[in-house]
């Protein structure tokens, strides 16, 4: 929560660790951008960050769990793809339309969901994800079924086409920055405080005059919009989509990324997405044992990193500061 | 055709119902949810196959052995993993994610132990089909149905008549009061998880000869079973059975008379509709916040 | 706001510096430079691998397949087959004296996984050529990458989709699904089937397979029932009841191995006693192992099958390969996907050997087109027509007496 501090004064000094980390990150990203393969990893990290940020607003801030984000991800991807291929809508617009349709579905699903407690919410969202998946497999007249859709057009903006992974990175980077800014502004606004109130104690929130259902629906809508946006970006990056991408494994991965990075923090979704994406790539060397290692990894996170990487970082910094403070006291 | 469908639906329904009962038990006893029950069914099937086919034990011995092992496994997961997670103050969603990880571990572990191809569970009766009213029925289907009914009745009497069953029900109703009465609440919780995985494991042994045994066999059954538990009224043992049979009939008859392509779509849609308009299920269990 | 702005500016500055650096080094000029045709970037990339090859002692050959996920078994078989082929090539002196090295990645049975794996093989490992996945949609998803980079890819998937897409550097190391389909449809004609029921899996393999089968069917056959099941389904009672009630005198079963075995058992236990027709998935040993008696009278089309024992091998190439396989891994392969991996890797080695310049994509393509009579396990490969397919025949087999028997032999003994 300390990142929510908004006082501008003494900013550089106060945040020098964050700044150093960001600088290192930028250097790493810069180095990665020289290789197409590594740029692709960066692109994936950005896309996942968008989806995980949505989940964080829903789960981290509002306390509403969802194991069906892959459903919204799929709606965004398929809507944008079909609009751009069948109706010739420019991808930059169809991406937004895809996200908008996901938003609509998010609100639809949120009406019943806002009344359910955690377990049933989990199940409802799992069922929703499964419904979307079985629909895109079944509705071959629309989605070409399990064969998938090829030849998805690339994104163009002002006559410039984002064709390769390197150039696409700039597009998704801008999206990520906008999304993170949006998240920050929402969290610091009245809406964000209402979200947190709903998470902490829905009854108390209702007692204070907060319309609990409204904020739950709003959180669902935002998370669906962002998942849809990520899905649409994914479709136009790879140029091919098929139902295999949109299974519950994907939903679980978003949740793992969020928990790993740390919930209810600004940077947690980015850190989680980055680390899990890199780890799954590194796991390739375990061949058929990679799922085993991945599952073991989730358990380790659950048991030893309950607050995610960000939580660990904050804890370490707090300990460091305390130590230094202690030394000063001794010296004086 | 109709009788075949009805028997098929009843069998599928009792599988969903029994696994669903496990979800209900876990929820009642600990207020938690496990997503690994489908994989418990798979592990049970593999263990049964190992005892029956590879070690050559009699079927009933294999079944009992599987039940013991599965009970211990379920108990282990609750007593060791879940309890220590909760002791760290983790939210319930962490427990759900933990069971997802367990499910991945079980599936991948089974792949290493038994390989990734479908294994054949030899026929238990040695006849390929029995003739009922002129219809060919696989005897294992009747066995699955029979084991389902027996398990249900046994669980009913265990919960209602035995001392431990009564203390489990008491602990589920009011943890605090139960522990002041000297009931070992942690043990009843562990036992509930144990019984749940025992149910799933034993049904796995029975469906092995029908479905074949492979690592992914439980994943969808687990979700359908969950749906059954919800439609019946989550936490209500009998509701799960009714819900299971409901889904058994929906699936079988939808794919026979309407569309096999949208079968799962319809099942999940029904689930969502039930959750919207009848969140307490058929047996009016409380699920709202 | 100020804070965020500062952060953003820093980030952007460093990144843009880097991007310039990236472009200068030109290791893989972003394809977005506008008008550049795919072939241009292609020659550049393969130029890289051309430089890399002489410096190292080995030539890297990539392979991506479904190592994990629902089709893990098939992926494992493709890998083992390719490994064996590479080992044999190396023992015979390698390619132009250079040893081959196999780089294996898992495509996780998803197109996304395939895209990642292939990009990594092309850019990081800089493979000279690669064996494509046993999953056709995964090849479709990844083919643009190898096409742009001019890397030869020989796929293990059977769907016509990826060789029909008009790519230059993609070939197939097994039989096009149309061939086995034609073989079993032909058997159906000979058996006098008039009313057909189709039961298929709702996956790319099932959908494209059923479409191709329908096109091959003579007009005398009428489809009386068409049912699908999901890959995750375990119980087919509803679909099978419909199939049986339709009164069909022949059932086409189009699925993958594991679900086909299940479907055959359930068809039989629900009282279907007639013949079951299908593609090569019905020809793996597991069908007989798992199905037992239920597998009798299953008729399937296939390029090559795994025989019951090495002595039953159809030809000398197959016999030699199986002997080597058992020596290497201690057991018989369990799926014909092993042949696909083996044939594909062998074809790659031949193409690289014959190419005038291994680093020139067009020379490699010419070398593949020049393969006209390679005796593979699935048959004689001839790529000269440029279609991407090397095989032109597949045969029909029938399960009879617990063994796969050539359908023509069986028909001669059992005239219908």
Residue in B closest to A253 by C-alpha = B97
**How high is the ipTM of this complex?**
0.84
As a whole number, mean pLDDT of residues C5-20 equals 50
For B65-88, write each residue's pLDDT tens digit. 999 999 999 999 988 888 888 887
Amino acid C55: pLDDT: 42
Q: Is B112 left (phi over 0), alpha (psi -120 to 50) or beta?
A: alpha
Residue in C closest to A11 by C-alpha = C3
Q: DSSP string spanning C192-256?
A: T--EEEEEEESSHHHHHHHHHHHHHS-TT-EEEEEEEE-TT----HHHHHHHHHTT-SEEEEE--
Amino acid C162: pLDDT: 86
- Assess if residue C407 is contained within a domain: yes
As a whole number, mean pLDDT of residues C352-369 equals 87
Residue in C closest to A234 by C-alpha = C112
Same domain, C261 and C376: no
3-state secondary structure of A315: helix
Domain total in chain C: 2
Q: Whose structure tokens read 């006893």?
A: B29
The rounded percent of chain C whose pLDDT value lies above 70 is 86
Amino acid A332: pLDDT: 55
Q: For residue C271, give both structure tokens.
A: 């009282």
- Assess if residue C267 is contained within a domain: yes
Same domain, C125 and C225: no
Contact (CB, 8 A) for A244 and C137: yes
Amino acid C83: pLDDT: 92
Amino acid C389: pLDDT: 87
Amino acid B285: pLDDT: 59
As a whole number, mean pLDDT of residues C37-64 equals 53
Min Cα distance C246 → chain B (Å) is 11
CA distance A193 to A265: 14
Any chains having at least 3 CB pairs less than 8 A from chain C are: A, B
Domain total in chain B: 1
Amino acid A53: pLDDT: 94
Query: Looking at the partner chain, which of A11, A19, A25 has a beta carbon nearest the beta carbon of C2?
Result: A11
Same domain, C241 and C349: no
- Domain hosting B179: range is 2-277
- Assess if residue C274 is contained within a domain: yes
- Assess if residue C390 is contained within a domain: no
Query: Looking at the partner chain, which of A11, A145, A240 has a beta carbon nearest the beta carbon of C140?
Result: A240
As a whole number, mean pLDDT of residues C11-26 equals 45
- Assess if residue C140 is contained within a domain: yes
- Assess if residue C253 is contained within a domain: yes
- Assess if residue A182 is contained within a domain: yes
Residue C152 pairs with which residues in a beta bridge? C129
As a whole number, mean pLDDT of residues C142-154 equals 89
- Assess if residue C16 is contained within a domain: no
* C67 with A288: Cβ contact below 8 A: yes
Which residues of chain B fall below pLDDT 50? Answer: 287-289
Contact list, C288 vs chain B (CB under 8 Å): none
Contact list, B104 vs chain A (CB under 8 Å): 291-292, 294-295, 298
Residue C238 pLDDT class (50, 70, 90 cuts): confident
For C308-335, write each residue's pLDDT tens digit. 888 888 788 888 899 999 999 888 888 8
Amino acid C378: pLDDT: 85
Closest CA to A223 of A137, A119, A113, A308: A113
Residue C344 pLDDT class (50, 70, 90 cuts): very high
- Assess if residue C312 is contained within a domain: no
Instruction: Return mean pLDDT, chain A.
Output: 84
Domain total in chain A: 1
Cβ within 8 Å of residue A39, ≥6 positions away:
A32, A33, A164, A165, A166, A168, A169
For C111-132, write each residue's pLDDT tens digit. 888 988 999 899 888 899 999 9
CA distance B171 to A159: 68
In this complex, is the C-beta atom of B94 within 8 Å of any C-beta atom belonging to chain A? yes
CA distance A306 to C234: 37
Phi, psi of C170 (to 5 degrees): -115, 125
Contact list, C122 vs chain A (CB under 8 Å): 37
> What single-letter DSSP state applies at residue C157?
-
- Assess if residue A23 is contained within a domain: no
The rounded percent of chain C whose pLDDT value lies above 90 is 19
CB-based burial, A233-248: b 16+ in 10 Å, e otherwise: bbbbbbbbbbbbbbbb
For A210-247, write each residue's pLDDT tens digit. 888 889 999 999 999 999 999 999 999 988 898 888 98
- Assess if residue A22 is contained within a domain: no
Same domain, C260 and C403: yes
pLDDT at C253 over 90: yes
* A303 with B85: Cβ contact below 8 A: yes
Query: What's the CATH code of the domain at C228?
Result: 3.40.50.2300
pLDDT at C4 over 60: no
Contact list, C268 vs chain B (CB under 8 Å): 128
Q: For residue C37, give both structure tokens.
A: 């045709």
Same domain, C298 and C371: no
Please give the residue that has the higher pLDDT: either C83 or B177.
C83
Contact list, A282 vs chain C (CB under 8 Å): none
In this complex, is the C-beta atom of B142 within 8 Å of any C-beta atom belonging to chain C? no
Closest CA to B121 of B202, B186, B53, B200: B53
Same domain, C46 and C192: no
In this complex, is the C-beta atom of A294 within 8 Å of any C-beta atom belonging to chain B? yes
Amino acid C81: pLDDT: 92
Query: What's the CATH code of the domain at B105?
Result: 1.10.3470
Q: For residue A204, give both structure tokens.
A: 């108390």
- Assess if residue B27 is contained within a domain: yes
Residue C47 pLDDT class (50, 70, 90 cuts): very low
Same domain, C372 and C402: no
CB pairs under 8 A between B and C: 108
Residue C343: how many CA atoms within 13 Å on its side-chain side?
32
- Domain hosting A324: range is 35-331
Kind and range of the H or E element at B225? helix B219-232
Same domain, C66 and C187: no
Contact list, A294 vs chain C (CB under 8 Å): none
Instruction: Return mean pLDDT, chain C.
Output: 81
Handedness of CA C139, C143, C146, C150 (dihedral sign): positive
Min Cα distance A10 → chain B (Å) is 36
pLDDT at C22 over 50: no
CB proximity under 8 Å: A 141-160 to C: 145-148, 150, 160
- Assess if residue A66 is contained within a domain: yes
Q: What is the pLDDT along chain A (332 residues), one digit of tens a residue?
A: 444 444 555 555 666 666 777 777 777 777 777 777 888 888 999 999 999 999 999 998 988 888 899 999 999 999 999 999 999 888 989 999 999 999 999 998 888 777 776 677 888 888 899 999 989 988 888 888 888 888 888 888 887 778 788 888 888 988 998 999 999 899 999 988 989 888 888 888 888 888 888 899 999 999 999 999 999 999 999 888 988 889 888 898 898 888 888 888 888 888 889 888 888 888 877 767 777 888 888 888 888 877 777 777 777 878 887 777 776 666 55
- Domain hosting C128: range is 39-175+322-384
Amino acid A209: pLDDT: 84
Output the 3-class SS for A253-275.
HHHHHHHHHCCCCCCHHHHHHHH
């Amino acid at each position: 929560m300390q990142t929510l501090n908004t006082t501008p004064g003494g900013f550089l000094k106060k945040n020098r660790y964050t700044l150093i980390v960001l600088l290192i990150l930028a250097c790493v990203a810069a180095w990665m951008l020289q290789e197409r393969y590594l740029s692709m990893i960066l692109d994936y990290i950005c896309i996942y960050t968008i989806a995980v940020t949505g989940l964080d607003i829903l789960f981290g801030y509002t306390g509403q769990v969802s194991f069906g984000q892959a459903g919204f991800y799929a709606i965004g991807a398929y809507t944008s793809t079909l609009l751009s291929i069948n109706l010739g809508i420019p991808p930059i617009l169809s991406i937004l339309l895809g996200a908008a349709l996901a938003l609509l579905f998010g609100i639809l699903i949120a009406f019943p969901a806002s009344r359910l407690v955690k377990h049933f919410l989990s199940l409802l969202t799992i069922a929703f994800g499964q419904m979307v998946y079985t629909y895109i497999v079944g509705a071959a007249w629309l989605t070409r079924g399990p064969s998938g859709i090829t030849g998805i057009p690339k994104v163009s903006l002002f006559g410039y086409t984002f064709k390769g992974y390197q150039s696409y990175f700039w597009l998704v980077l801008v999206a990520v920055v906008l999304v993170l800014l949006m998240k920050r502004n929402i969290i610091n606004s009245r809406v964000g405080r209402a979200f947190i109130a709903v998470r902490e104690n829905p009854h108390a929130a209702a007692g204070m005059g907060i319309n609990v259902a409204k904020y739950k629906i709003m959180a669902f809508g935002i998370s669906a919009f962002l998942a849809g946006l990520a899905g649409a970006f994914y479709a136009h990056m790879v140029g091919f989509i098929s139902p295999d991408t949109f299974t519950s494994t994907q939903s679980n991965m978003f949740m793992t990324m969020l928990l790993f990075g740390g919930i209810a923090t600004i940077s947690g979704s980015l850190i989680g997405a980055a680390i899990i994406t890199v780890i799954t790539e590194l796991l390739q060397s375990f061949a058929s044992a990679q799922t085993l290692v991945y599952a073991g990894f989730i358990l380790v996170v659950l048991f030893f990193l309950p607050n995610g990487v960000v939580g660990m970082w904050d804890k370490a910094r707090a300990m460091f500061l305390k130590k230094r403070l202690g030394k000063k006291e001794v010296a004086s | 055709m109709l009788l075949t469908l009805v028997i098929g639906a009843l069998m599928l329904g009792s599988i969903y119902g029994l696994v669903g009962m496990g979800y209900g038990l876990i929820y009642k006893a600990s207020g938690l949810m496990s997503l690994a029950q489908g994989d418990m069914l798979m592990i049970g099937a593999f263990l049964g196959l190992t005892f029956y086919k590879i070690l050559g034990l009699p079927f009933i011995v294999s079944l009992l052995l599987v039940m013991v092992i599965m009970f211990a496994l379920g108990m282990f997961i609750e007593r060791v993993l879940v309890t220590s997670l909760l002791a760290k103050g983790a939210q319930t969603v962490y427990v759900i994610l933990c069971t997802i990880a367990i499910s991945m571990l079980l599936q991948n572990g089974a792949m290493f132990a038994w390989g990734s191809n479908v294994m054949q569970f030899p026929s238990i009766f040695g006849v390929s089909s029995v003739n009922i009213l002129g219809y060919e029925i696989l005897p294992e289907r009747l066995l699955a149905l029979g084991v389902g009914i027996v398990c249900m009745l046994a669980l009913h009497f265990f919960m209602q008549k035995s001392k431990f069953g009564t203390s489990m029900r008491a602990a589920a109703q009011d943890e605090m009061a139960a522990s002041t009465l000297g009931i070992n609440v942690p043990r009843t919780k562990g036992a509930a998880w144990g019984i749940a995985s025992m149910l799933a494991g034993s049904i796995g042994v029975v469906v092995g000869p029908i479905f074949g045994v492979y690592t992914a066999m439980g994943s969808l059954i687990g979700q359908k079973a969950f749906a059954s538990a919800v439609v019946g009224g989550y936490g209500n043992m009998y509701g799960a059975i009714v819900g299971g049979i409901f889904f058994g009939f929906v699936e079988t008859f939808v794919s026979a008379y309407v569309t096999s392509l949208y079968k799962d779509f319809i099942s999940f849609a029904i689930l969502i509709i039930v959750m919207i308009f009848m969140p307490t299920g058929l047996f009016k269990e409380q699920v709202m916040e | 706001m100020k804070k965020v702005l500062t952060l953003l500016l820093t980030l952007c500055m460093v990144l843009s510096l880097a991007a310039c650096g990236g472009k200068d080094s030109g290791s893989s000029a972003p394809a977005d430079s506008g008008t550049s045709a795919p072939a241009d970037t292609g020659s550049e990339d393969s130029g890289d691998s051309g430089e890399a090859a002489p410096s190292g002692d080995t030539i890297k050959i990539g392979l991506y397949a479904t190592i994990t996920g629902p089709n893990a078994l098939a992926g494992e078989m493709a890998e083992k087959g390719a490994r064996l082929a590479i080992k044999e090539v190396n023992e015979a002196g390698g390619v132009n004296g250079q040893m081959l090295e196999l780089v294996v990645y898992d495509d996780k049975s998803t197109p996304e996984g395939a895209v990642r794996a292939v990009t990594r093989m092309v850019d990081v490992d800089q493979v000279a050529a690669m064996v494509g996945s046993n999953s056709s949609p995964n090849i479709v998803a990844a083919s643009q990458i190898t096409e742009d980079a001019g890397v030869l890819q020989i796929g293990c998937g059977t769907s016509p989709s990826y060789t029909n897409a008009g790519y230059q550097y993609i070939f197939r190391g097994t039989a096009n699904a149309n061939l086995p389909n034609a073989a079993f449809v032909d058997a159906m004609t000979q058996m006098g089937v008039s009313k057909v029921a189709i039961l298929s899996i709702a996956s790319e393999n099932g959908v494209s397979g059923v479409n191709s089968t329908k096109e091959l069917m003579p007009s005398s056959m009428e489809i009386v029932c068409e049912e699908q099941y999901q890959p995750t389904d375990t119980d087919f009672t509803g679909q099978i009841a419909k199939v049986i009630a339709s009164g069909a005198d022949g059932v086409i079963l189009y699925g993958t191995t594991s679900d086909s075995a299940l479907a055959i058992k359930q068809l039989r236990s629900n009282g279907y006693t007639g013949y079951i027709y299908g593609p090569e998935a019905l020809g793996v040993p597991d069908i007989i192992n798992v199905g037992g008696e239920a597998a009798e009278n299953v008729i399937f089309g296939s390029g090559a099958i795994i025989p019951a024992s090495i002595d039953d091998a159809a030809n000398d190439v197959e016999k030699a390969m199986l002997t080597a396989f058992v020596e290497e891994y201690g057991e018989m392969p369990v799926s014909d996907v092993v042949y696909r991996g083996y044939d594909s890797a062998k074809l790659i080695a031949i193409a690289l050997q014959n190419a005038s310049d291994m680093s020139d994509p067009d020379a490699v393509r010419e070398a593949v087109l020049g393969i006209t009579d390679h005796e593979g396990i699935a048959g004689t490969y001839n790529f000269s027509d440029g279609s991407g397919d090397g095989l032109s025949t597949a045969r029909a087999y029938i399960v009879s007496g617990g063994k796969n028997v050539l359908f023509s032999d069986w028909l001669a003994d059992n005239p219908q």
